Amino acid sequence: MAKPILDILAFRTRLAAIFSILAVALILYRLFDLQVAEPVVEPEVSEQRLTREMPWVPRRGLILDRNHRQLVRNDDRVTLKVELHRIQDRVAIAKALAPILERDSSLGFQEILKEIPKEAKDFKP
């Protein structure tokens, strides 16, 4: 009775050893491929291999009152903060921001600022 159990145990041990050796061989092959077969000279290519930009926006739920009426809705928005005291060339900034804000580039800086709602201008964190 003990012999079949030992045979099964020996088979599982050999199978685990084979998979482990294959995994190590695969890792060593990939390491050789990256380091020797395809060496990277340019840092930009190396950076592209290492990093990947994946935008991720967390999904947040609605905030409801006890009667299940919606109190708060979360919207994904891009915000823009302008510190007026730091801007030297306001005309150039207005021309650069106009296409991003989907405004007419012939408008001046003050006209673009006038189109921003008051509560957005006065926001202080």
In-domain check, residue 61:
no
- Cβ contact 51:43 at 8 Å: no
Q: How large a percentage of the chain has pLDDT more than 90?
A: 18
Q: Reduced to 3 states, what is the DSSP secondary structure of residue 4?
A: helix
78 and 112 in a common domain: yes
Specify the range with the lowest mean pLDDT, choosing from 18-27, 72-81, 91-100, 106-115.
106-115
Q: Reduced to 3 states, what is the DSSP secondary structure of residue 94?
A: helix
In-domain check, residue 65:
no
In-domain check, residue 82:
yes
Between 97 and 40, where is the model more confident?
Answer: 97
In-domain check, residue 23:
yes
In-domain check, residue 57:
no
Domain that holds residue 116: 74-121
In-domain check, residue 62:
no
pLDDT tens digits for range 13-41: 999 999 999 999 999 999 898 888 877 66
In-domain check, residue 59:
no
In-domain check, residue 11:
yes
Secondary-structure breakdown of the chain: helix, strand, coil percentages, each rounded to the nearest 5: 55, 5, 40
pLDDT tens digits for range 86-96: 778 877 877 77
